[in-house]
Structure formats: C-alpha cells, structure tokens
Amino acid sequence: MKVGAVIITMGNRPDELRALLGSVAKQDGDAVEVVVVGNGSPVPDVPEGVRTIELPENLGIPGGRNVGIEAFGPSGRGVDILLFLDDDGLLAHHDTAELCREAFSTDPKLGIVSFRIADPETGVTQRRHVPRLRASDPMRSSRVTTFLGGANAVRTQVFAEVGGLPDEFFYAHEETDLAWRALDAGWMIDYRSDMVLYHPTTAPSRHAVYHRMVARNRVWLARRNLPAPLVPVYLGVWLLLTLARRPSRPALRAWFGGFREGWTTSCGPRRPMKWRTVWRLTRLGRPPVI
C-alpha cells in the first residue's frame, strides 16, 4: 500500500520540522511521499523531494490538512494511506509506516488509526491523548470512536466516501466530526499504542482561541451529526462537565460566547448519524452523549 504524509506548519518550528521529516524518511519499506503545507506562512527549508504548498492565509488545521489531502489527487487517491503529523512531533520508531500498511491490509474495514503520543523526555502519554473514556492505561490498544489529529493514519478511501475534515471548524473537534462520519459509513477506528509520535507535553488551553472554539465546535459537531433527540443531551452533558471543571471567569465567558456562536451561526450540512451508529458508539464504550 502506498503511504503519504501531510504536515501543516506555521513556519515557526523549522528545527522540529526538519527532525520530523528525517524520522519520516527513515521509515522502513517504500518511501513515504510527503507534502508540507505552509498555513499562511512560508515553508522553511526542507529536504529535496519533499513537496511544499504555501497558502496565502491561515485556513486553520482542517483547512490546511484538506489542502494537503488534495495534493495527492482528489480525496488523496494517489496513495492508499495518509499520515497526519504535527510539525513539532517525531516518529519514535522506523516501522510505523510498515505497521500502518499491515493494519490496513489485514483489516478491510479499518478506516483510521490513532497513534500514541508520548513526551520525548519522560515517555508519558497524557490522559487526553488516549481517545477513549477508559484512558488510564495508554499502553492498551483498542477500538475507539475518535482519533488524535496530529498523530494518525487514514485510509484515503474514507475521504472518498465521507469527505474531508470540516474547514469551517478551523480548530478543535474536526477529528471527531470525521470519525463520526466514518463510523456511520461502516468504517472502524483503532488506537495503537505501538505506533508512537513523540511530542512535548502541552496544554490545549495555550491557544488563545481554545475556549471559544471548543464550545462553538462542540455545538456544531452535535448539530451536524447527531439525531435530533441526542443534541440537547450531548450539549447538556458537556455544559455540566465544563462547569464542574471550574474554569476561570475569562475562560468561562469565552466558552459561553462560543456556545452561543455555535447556535447562531451555520454549522455546515447536517447529516445525522443512523441509530445503529449510535448503538455502535455505545458498544465501543463511548455513547454520543459524552
């Protein structure tokens, strides 16, 4: 199976980007074709053979990745598998691409693989980087219902069937939107602890827009994908969870502003999932109310 990789960058981490590209070049098996997308910024110097695209404006994470997908042809069809890697990450092992080929070849219903993210110095995987509710053991691989945006592999047939990432989200929850659409189409998602991306431990709230976009996109996610009776349940649960976490007053104000924006602005096309998909998500351990 042919493997490609999409990396988006703001051009502000040239050393980390070069290290990541080096780790991709060292993968076992056939060479991985790489496209680096400068998301509203010039692309730093990259090794020969790495394709680059420089966008005149920042399209956000999903928008930038969608440009990278299309660089491999419509829906990425020029390759069978696409890796999506954060530009400050590093593939820990040389066999990740080969493990992806094996996983997708042996399981024809496997659509997406989520890698394990580990701190390069401590080896610790943050709880939020294990895409399931029972996240206490990051070394346990399992079927899951979502995936990590900057450390994953997607069968390009998934994009051909369900479309790409939602451009309008810009940042936050775009992976779950794609995951729900893929699951609704019959694909499965695996979390693999043996496929590792090294990435420094960070907090998502470091982004200035975090609280507003997390809330807005949570509403959009529900409005786009859930059966109507589940929309208020899902959003009510997340409202209670947000309050229980006791965010600061400015953070809470930004969150409620985003929540309001999610209801008053267009969320894009609505395609509610089938009730059998709701049951599948429930059997996988994460019913779509949390």
Q: What pLDDT digit, counting tens, does each position of 86-127 carry?
A: 999 999 999 999 999 999 999 999 999 999 999 999 999 999
- Residues 267 and 219 sit within 8 Å (Cβ to Cβ): yes
| Mean predicted confidence (pLDDT) in 173-190 | 98
Q: What is the pLDDT of residue 207?
A: 55
Q: What pLDDT digit, counting tens, does each position of 191-215 carry?
A: 999 999 999 988 775 555 899 999 9
SS3 content of the chain, % helix, strand, coil (to 5): 40, 20, 40
Exposed, middle or buried: residue 36 (CB in 10 Å: 0-12, 13-18, 19+)?
buried
Bridge-partner residues for 192, per DSSP?
A: 115
Give the start-to-end residue ranges of the domains of the chain: 3-198, 208-272+280-284
Q: Cα(203)–Cα(159) distance, rounded to whole angstroms?
A: 29
- Residues 20 and 87 sit within 8 Å (Cβ to Cβ): yes
Q: Cα(108)–Cα(188) distance, rounded to whole angstroms?
A: 9
Domain 3-198 is classified in which CATH homologous superfamily? Answer: Spore Coat Polysaccharide Biosynthesis Protein SpsA; Chain A (3.90.550.10)
Q: What pLDDT digit, counting tens, does each position of 210-269 carry?
A: 999 999 999 999 999 999 999 999 999 999 999 999 999 999 999 999 999 999 999 999
Q: What is the pLDDT of residue 206?
A: 53
| Mean predicted confidence (pLDDT) in 141-167 | 98
Q: What pLDDT digit, counting tens, does each position of 30-75 carry?
A: 999 999 999 999 999 999 999 999 999 999 999 999 999 999 999 9
Residue 274, SS3 per DSSP: coil
Q: What is the pLDDT of residue 31?
A: 98
Q: What is the pLDDT of residue 202?
A: 80
Question: Residue 146: which region, alpha, beta or left (left: phi > 0; alpha: psi -120 to 50)?
Answer: beta
Q: What is the pLDDT of residue 209?
A: 84
Q: Cα(171)–Cα(182) distance, rounded to whole angstroms?
A: 19
